[in-house]
Structure 1
Amino acid sequence: MMESVIERCKMQIHKFKKIYDFESAYWFAEKWLFAVFIDSEKSSVGAKQRNYFDGKWINLPNNDIHSSLLEPLEEMISCLIHNQQFARAVHFIKSNGLHIRSKTFFLLLLHCQVKLKDWINAELTLMDYEDRIVGKADLTNLTESEDPQQARIAHLKGVVFDALEKRELAVEEFKFSVKSDVSAVSSMMTLANRTMMDEKEAQIFIDEIFSGQEEDEMKRIYEMNLTPTEFNLKTNSKESMLLNAASIENYIWEVKDHMSKFSNEIALRLSSKLMKIDPYDDRILLNHIGLLVESDQSNELYKLGHLLIGLDPDKWIGWYCAGCYYLVVKKFMKAIDMLRKALIKNPNFGHAYLALGHVFSEEKEYDQAMNSYLSAQRVMPGSALPDLYVSVSYRALGNYEDAHSFIKQAYEREPCNPMVLHEYGTNLIKLEDYENAAKFLNRALNSLMQNVRRNSQSEVSPRWAPLLFNLGTALRLKGDYKEAVEMHKRGLILNSSSADGHIILATSLFADNLFESVEQLQNAMTYDRQNSFTNEILTRVINELSKEDHSLLFDDSSDEEKEEEPLKPLPTQQEVQQFVTPQNRPRLQSTPREFQFNVNDSFEMSIDEDSTMGYGEQLDNSGDISDDTLPLDADS
């Protein structure tokens, strides 16, 4: 009779789980457990507690759980998890000591504690696992094998260690999860999205996993995500069932690839198509938000932020989008508030730290900006961007030695990144190493042009004009005036309205052509009439021209009769050097590799600041925040 009851319960559980009615499935799983318990050979235990089997559950006898009970118990707990009753599942497992008897229940317990973000108790649970107390029960009746459990437990351990800021342990656990099961893409995606390894480390890791094996389709998936700049799907002619031109991973990779090549218009068009297909995929959203910031589309950011916060105010990405909106419309205090809310909901979100640093840089709060960048460095150790931005901040404060140490670290991680090469060369100009500055800036330009040639549809953004201006400045300071003039003119082709560009070209023309220099200074005055330095330089150059041509054009008196007023000399190298154009501050992008924040919209920063800086207060992410209203306003 009990066998028929058990069979009926199994059928009902299967039926209700198929229609996602987990409450009904739980009820029948409970009846299944009671039937097995009563029918067990341990009749003394069954008789002792049979009176309580009236629809309510009581604790199992801790020292005597038969293996036949494990399957219905697992069904019950899985139903609780599906209903998001994590605290109830934790209590059920721990009060009955199930996690000590079975690795399956240990896995379920750790999963629930992670969902509850109960990191302290999760770490205590891991101590039992490390002491080899877990998994003494017979698991032969369970359908799940040991290896998938081992890989999943390692992944959850990595999540716990990451939340407790034990980054190195977290990375090792994620790697171990992948080694245990190469199909465990959740661990691989965490390593990729969080940029926990640079591409060199990632390639060594991939070679280690797939060494001695035949070509595995999964290897291509790993290369696409962990080493995206080296991976090119189109040049790989081998057909794959897991990865092909129609897969969503391919389209997401193409968006990231265009962003890494600074072809943002093409990337935005493709990203917009993906948003119509799956508008709530975090991978697609993160790329799309970054591209909207690059193109200054504040209205789209406003609408998307409202939508995401309205759908799920407890999720970080809506508040991040709102922070990006306020960054674009230059309402910096609101941007700080929104980004800090995003970080409270996801403290390991490196993009928000970088964006917060950009906001503080706009406000010239460089100590807080660097704190934000260093926080990003802790959560995304494989990326060069945090070090890059710390270098930019130090250079803005005139601390070129410290700037050099940070940009050197960024260069070691990503030696081919044009942004890193640009900042490296710009800082070397300030250190008066003009020869090496020109070399690094030339490498940045060549790398950028190589990316453009790879994509015949892309054009160089006008926001890369500072690279050409800075290269021209380095050439001028090392004495190559002709090449410097040519480079400045190329920069003005990209951005003809740059007052700094016209001033820099004028300084390069002082030696050979003062008349054209005056023309460029007048052009600079057209775009920036309030620039006192330009006024001063223009006055000096005109006076110099008057001095040279006065006797021929304006005066008939003899040289002996003329008393000339002393004229100010032309500007010195130190005076004109201040027009090393500020580094293009890359803005928001979201690829999980080197361009989490992409080049575009220049964050112009004064590089003649005389103030000094020390490390200020750390970011304060504490406090109660009300999520019941949408804080965005419509003016942009």
Structure 2
Amino acid sequence: MREEEIEKLRGVVRDCVSKHLYSSAIFFADKVAAFTNDPADIYMQAQALFLGRHYRRAYHLLNASQIVLRDLRFRYLAAKCLEELKEWDQCLLMLGDAKVDEHGNVSDTKDSNVMYLDKDGEDREINASLPFSYIFPFKTSLLQYNFCNMLLKRYKAAIKADPLCYEALECLLENHMLSCEEETSLLSSLQFGPEDGWLSSFYSCLIKKYDNEYVVEAKFRELEKESCNSNPSDPSFMRTLKSNTDLLACKAEYYHQCGEHQKCFELTSVLLEKDPFHLKSTLVHLAAAMELGHSNELYLMACNLVKDYPQKALSWFAVGCYYYCIKKYDQSRRYFSKATNLDGAFPPAWIGYGNAYAAQEEGDQAMSAYRTAARLFPGCHLPTLYIGMEYMRTHSFKLAEQFFMQAKIICPSDPLVYNELGVVAYNMKEYSKSVWWFEKTLTHVPSPLSEIWEPTVVNLAHAYRKLKMYQEAISYYDKALALSTKSVSTYAGLAYTYHLQDNFTAAITYYHKALWLKPDDQFCTEMLSLALLDECRCGADPKVEFRSNDVYL
């Protein structure tokens, strides 16, 4: 990226600050600082964070810089952050030898070399009237307007009027106001300037990431290659967005959606070590820790968040996640409810609230929470998906199928939706249809398959067995064993398939392996006895044919 383009982005940041569009200012200031690493740009980013009330993150950014104690502006802004955090001792320590008079003017006898933020150049302003007037009156009234069409149209009009109005895009995405298809369509309709190719790519990484893995990863690679020569005198010295926190948070979110929870957790751990107060990374980190059962990590995260952000829904959501992880669902519900009270437009809290009820099979309350979430966040398919799961738990398969199909319309690329449709079809004894859905699930899963998709492979093998396509069933049971060797269902299904083919020796072997994992399994115990009896009969008289009925599994 050329220096004049960087200067235009600086103008965008200043313009956003002047219009109090602090989320947009933070977004663009972060990118400018990533491209240049200029102290003036780092200070501009810290200012944007401070104005956006991200006091802890602004202080961390200033304190991590190498010139915080040498540059009076850095030190004073860091002290203001500490003042807002009410950490008075640290605030006085940060002021040090700086003297503040009664008018708030700062002087420092040790270092008078003060750098200035403003640079010469033409500012590139956000389209003045339209985006600002469209966003400001409605940002604080999301629930009051119940995400009505008028509000949706105003946000879309704001971002279409000026693609640099990140604030409007953030509202649309964070509050799940658009489906996957609508998000893609909106981005394709934006008119970016010739120098804003990187921004178009960045926006495409922010939307839901259920596309083909090659498409999503290509977007990340394209954006990581975007570079800026931050030192014109040295052509070889280039900076890129490859290590930018926002971009890495998008990548972590992609890993989570793919089911790569360990990779997601490792990446967010690195991100939070670099920037402990990056809230988007924090949310993804909590989700990954939940999936992996890291209760200690959840406890520490919850304590720190409640300390630093007691008025944020995310903090109490983290507490709810900890109690959910240790299976104390009553306490979990209490804190998820507190999170929804603090911020009714926080989707994870509503879903967690419903899940906590569902974990104790309190279906009516769970359904109520999911329906509220589905109403508030029409672009999020998860509430509808969970409603279908609740209907399936009560064996209302037709109703479950209807909700799964609704979820499919909202997000047609999530493999979990297709897996649930396959399970419904299997339970309704539509085995051919079930095979079709399970195979479609696997086509939407990134390769190579991870262990999280092992149940889908086993389900597909079960469906093939029901269709008496035994070789295909055995093939998929073997694939499932390559993903996980600790599943009783896989060994039992494989043993039963061999049993149906009169291969009693192989059947006995796999029944034993299943019983080694679960010695009290009634099905395997009974079928092992039958397999031993069948083998004895066939061994005594080879002309005798005996086959157990396919009435199990």
| Structure 2 residue aligned with 1:471 | 460
For the aligned residues, what is the CA RMSD?
3.2
In the alignment, structure 1 residue 233 sits paired with structure 2 residue 213: no
Structure 1 residue 401, shift from structure 2 partner: 0.8
| Structure 2 residue aligned with 1:263 | 260
Q: Distance in 2 between matches of 1:223 and 1:402?
A: 34
| Structure 1 residue aligned with 2:550 | 572
Q: Distance in 2 between matches of 1:262 and 1:278?
A: 24
Distance change >3 Å, CA 541–CA 359, structure 1 → 2 = farther
TM-score, with structure 1 as normaliser: 0.60
Q: Distance in 2 between matches of 1:336 and 1:236?
A: 40
Q: Distance in 2 between matches of 1:438 and 1:83?
A: 51
Structure 1 residue 279, shift from structure 2 partner: 1.4
Matches for 1:2-151 after TM superposition, within 5 Å:
148-151=128-131
Contact 1:503 1:520 in 2 (8 A): yes
Distance change >3 Å, CA 500–CA 238, structure 1 → 2 = closer
In the alignment, structure 1 residue 245 sits paired with structure 2 residue 242: yes
| Structure 2 residue aligned with 1:494 | 483
In the alignment, structure 1 residue 396 sits paired with structure 2 residue 377: no
Amino acid at match of 1:438: V
Contact 1:354 1:372 in 2 (8 A): yes
- 3-state SS, counterpart of residue 195 of structure 1: coil
Of the structure 1 ranges 407-416 and 465-474, higher mean CA displacement relative to structure 2 is found in: 407-416
Q: Distance in 1 between matches of 2:225 and 2:262?
A: 30
Contact 2:464 2:470 in 1 (8 A): yes
Superposed CA offset, 1:336-393 (max 9, x none): 1111111111112111222223222221223322222222222322122222222222
Q: Distance in 1 between matches of 2:491 and 2:193?
A: 59
Contact 2:432 2:467 in 1 (8 A): yes
| Structure 2 residue aligned with 1:166 | 146
Q: Distance in 2 between matches of 1:536 and 1:169?
A: 63
**Among candidates 168, 176, 180, match of residue 195 of structure 1:** 176
In the alignment, structure 1 residue 323 sits paired with structure 2 residue 301: no
Q: Distance in 2 between matches of 1:211 and 1:268?
A: 34
| Structure 1 residue aligned with 2:77 | none
| Structure 2 residue aligned with 1:374 | 371
In the alignment, structure 1 residue 452 sits paired with structure 2 residue 447: yes
**Among candidates 281, 298, 316, match of residue 278 of structure 2:** 281
**Among candidates 434, 438, 449, match of residue 437 of structure 1:** 434
**Comparing both chains, which one has the higher relative contact order based on Cα–Cα distances under 8 Å and sequence gaps of 6 or more?**
1
Distance change >3 Å, CA 365–CA 569, structure 1 → 2 = farther
Q: Distance in 2 between matches of 1:540 and 1:326?
A: 45
| Structure 1 residue aligned with 2:3 | none
In the alignment, structure 1 residue 529 sits paired with structure 2 residue 509: no
Q: Distance in 2 between matches of 1:83 and 1:221?
A: 21
Amino acid at match of 2:348: H
| Structure 2 residue aligned with 1:514 | 504
Q: Report percent identity of matched pairs.
A: 21
Q: Distance in 2 between matches of 1:369 and 1:541?
A: 44
| Structure 1 residue aligned with 2:93 | none
Distance change >3 Å, CA 207–CA 243, structure 1 → 2 = farther
Distance change >3 Å, CA 204–CA 510, structure 1 → 2 = same
Structure 1 residue 163, shift from structure 2 partner: 1.7
Q: Distance in 2 between matches of 1:306 and 1:215?
A: 40
Superposed CA offset, 1:297-355 (max 9, x none): 11111111111112232221111111111111111111111111111111121112222
| Structure 1 residue aligned with 2:99 | none
Q: Distance in 1 between matches of 2:242 and 2:465?
A: 48
Gaps of 5+ in 2: 1-50, 54-124, 229-238
Structure 1 residue 227, shift from structure 2 partner: 5.1
Q: Distance in 2 between matches of 1:249 and 1:282?
A: 10
Structure 1 residue 243, shift from structure 2 partner: 7.9
Gaps of 5+ in 1: 1-81, 85-144, 454-459, 553-558, 560-567, 577-636
Superposed CA offset, 1:489-537 (max 9, x none): 2212322121122222222222211332233223222222343333333
Contact 1:540 1:569 in 2 (8 A): no
TM-score, with structure 2 as normaliser: 0.68
Superposed CA offset, 1:385-416 (max 9, x none): 22222222222221111111111122223333
Superposed CA offset, 1:259-296 (max 9, x none): 23333322222211211222122211101111111221
Q: Distance in 1 between matches of 2:493 and 2:126?
A: 67
Q: Distance in 2 between matches of 1:304 and 1:478?
A: 49
Distance change >3 Å, CA 543–CA 368, structure 1 → 2 = farther
Superposed CA offset, 1:132-189 (max 9, x none): xxxxxxxxxxxxx995344223223433552215213322221122233322211111
